[in-house]
Amino acid sequence: MLTFSESTLPLFNILSGVLAAFVFSAVVLLFYNIFFFFRLLFFNQEGNATNSLLPGVSVIVCARNALEQLQSLIPVIQNQDYPDFELIIVDDRSDDPTYDFLLERKAQGKGFKLVRINFTPEHTNSKKYALTMGIKSASHELLLFTDADCVPVSDQWIKEMVSEFDHEKEIVLAYAPYQRLPGLLNHLIRFDTFYTAVQCFSFALAGMPYMGVGRNLAYKQSLFFKLKGFYKHVNLTGGDDDLFVNRAANPENTAISLKFESQTVSEPKTTWKAWYKQKLRHWHIGKYYKFRDRFVLGLLHFCRIINWISFLLIVAWIPFNFIAIGLFLVEKTIWLVGMNKIKNSLNEKISWWKMPFLDLIHTILFFVIGLKAYFSRKITWS
């Protein structure tokens, strides 16, 4: 007959394992907060004086059937407070009035280039091909990218992005938030965008740049051609921004711009299905990052999942375990205070008290969608 201690040993081992997993995840998350994320709290944004002459810039936008978006975007870009830039619109096989509208804009003045894509070669991603054609047509070394559904927040956008370039800096990363709309989905989209940006910028400051966002990204034309463009992932859906930066970026050649004037604001998805498909594509691309980046990001998100799960189990099984609850509150409080300050510096409008709940929902969805994205062999735009 089993004794009381023997019969409770399996449960004791399970509880010990849950506690150990919780402590491990909490310590790792504290490390990420302090060593990586909180670098943004002390970052002093200074443009490079070497760009006082304001070199020429080619602004490149790829679009397909985006008439209304381009009608809003083009005037904003053309009214930028910058002396020497060209706007290149790459029309990727539009079958609506977009091309006719662009022909009219081209006829209205100089500094506007129109590249028409009539077909995409086999085994080539259409967005990457369109971007490549736009880059080949660029007259300037500095290339600045955004999407048709994005709009710069100020007329200083080009100037602020260019100010981060010098003879060493070849890539500039900047923030591209989504419009603020009512509802849980919009809150989650903006939290996801903010949290991704925190990772992107803080890792770059730590000497580990690993991605960029095509809605607001700049790099040198010579760098693109030196790396033979997108040839390593030309057939993949997505990755024209983050996979290229993952290959091209290093601690010496990458800069970030956190100034509000350098931001572009984008139209968010308005249905859960559309956002799910978007995140599935984005997170699918992550498995093609360098091993170091996959490991560091994987450990972060693994510990986020383990931290929430183990804490909820501890609360359910051991409601009076004040040490575990105290450690959880300490870790989340430090995270919340730091993230709230970073959020304010980026002018992101998410209420601080909503952030822990959004973090929990985001963690669950990241686990579910991330698993599907990782094990999916092919992701399409449809």
The pLDDT value recorded for residue 194 is 98
Of the candidates 144, 125, 124, 119, the one whose C-alpha atom is nearest the C-alpha of residue 134 is 144
Model confidence at 374, in pLDDT bands (50, 70, 90)?
confident
**Long-range CB contacts for residues 12-20, cutoff 8 Å, separation at least 24:** 15/317, 15/318, 18/310, 18/313, 18/314, 18/317, 19/310, 19/314, 19/321, 19/324
pLDDT digits (tens, 9 = 90+) for 37-94: 999 999 987 766 555 679 999 999 999 999 999 999 999 999 999 999 999 999 999 9
The pLDDT value recorded for residue 4 is 41
Evaluate if residue 380 carries a pLDDT over 70.
no
Model confidence at 293, in pLDDT bands (50, 70, 90)?
very high
Q: Tell me if 4 is assigned to some domain.
A: no
Q: Tell me if 34 is assigned to some domain.
A: yes
Given 213, 236, 270, the domain boundary residue is: 270
Given 212, 240, 270, the domain boundary residue is: 270
Evaluate if residue 310 carries a pLDDT over 50.
yes
**CATH code of the domain in which 238 resides:** 3.90.550.10
pLDDT digits (tens, 9 = 90+) for 179-194: 999 999 999 999 999 9
pLDDT mean over 339-363: 96
Domain co-membership, 230 together with 296: no
pLDDT digits (tens, 9 = 90+) for 196-225: 999 999 999 999 999 999 999 999 999 999
The pLDDT value recorded for residue 43 is 94
The residue with greater pLDDT, 360 or 123, is 360
- Helix, coil or strand: residue 206: coil
Q: Tell me if 170 is assigned to some domain.
A: yes
Domain co-membership, 259 together with 367: no
What is the pairing mode between strands 85-92 and 112-117? parallel
Domain co-membership, 70 together with 203: yes
In sequence order, what DSSP letters do the residues of 62-109 get, joined into one string? EESS-HHHHHHHHHHHHT-S-SSEEEEEEEES--STHHHHHHHHHHT-
Domain co-membership, 173 together with 247: yes
Domain co-membership, 30 together with 92: no
**Contact indicator for 251, 209 with CB cutoff of 8 Å:** yes
Stated pTM of the model: 0.92
Domain co-membership, 223 together with 371: no
Domain co-membership, 261 together with 371: no
Domain co-membership, 57 together with 33: no
The pLDDT value recorded for residue 204 is 98
Per the structure, the complete domain to which residue 174 belongs is given by: 49-270
Evaluate if residue 299 carries a pLDDT over 50.
yes
pLDDT digits (tens, 9 = 90+) for 243-271: 999 999 999 999 999 999 999 999 999 99
Q: Tell me if 382 is assigned to some domain.
A: no
Q: Tell me if 286 is assigned to some domain.
A: no
CA-CA-CA-CA torsion for 153, 154, 159, 163, nearest 10 degrees? -60
Structural domain count of the chain: 2
Contacts for 47 with CB less than 8 Å, ≥ 6 apart: 160, 163, 164
The pLDDT value recorded for residue 372 is 80
Domain co-membership, 190 together with 331: no
The fraction of the chain above a pLDDT of 70, given in percent, is: 93
Q: Tell me if 334 is assigned to some domain.
A: yes
Domain co-membership, 316 together with 175: no
Domain co-membership, 72 together with 26: no
Domain co-membership, 36 together with 121: no
The pLDDT value recorded for residue 1 is 39
Contacts for 10 with CB less than 8 Å, ≥ 6 apart: none
Q: Tell me if 279 is assigned to some domain.
A: no
Q: Tell me if 136 is assigned to some domain.
A: yes
The pLDDT value recorded for residue 16 is 81
Q: Where are the beta strands (DSSP E) in the chain?
A: 57-63, 85-92, 112-117, 142-147, 150-152, 171-174, 217-220, 254-257, 264-266
pLDDT digits (tens, 9 = 90+) for 103-124: 999 888 779 999 999 999 998 9
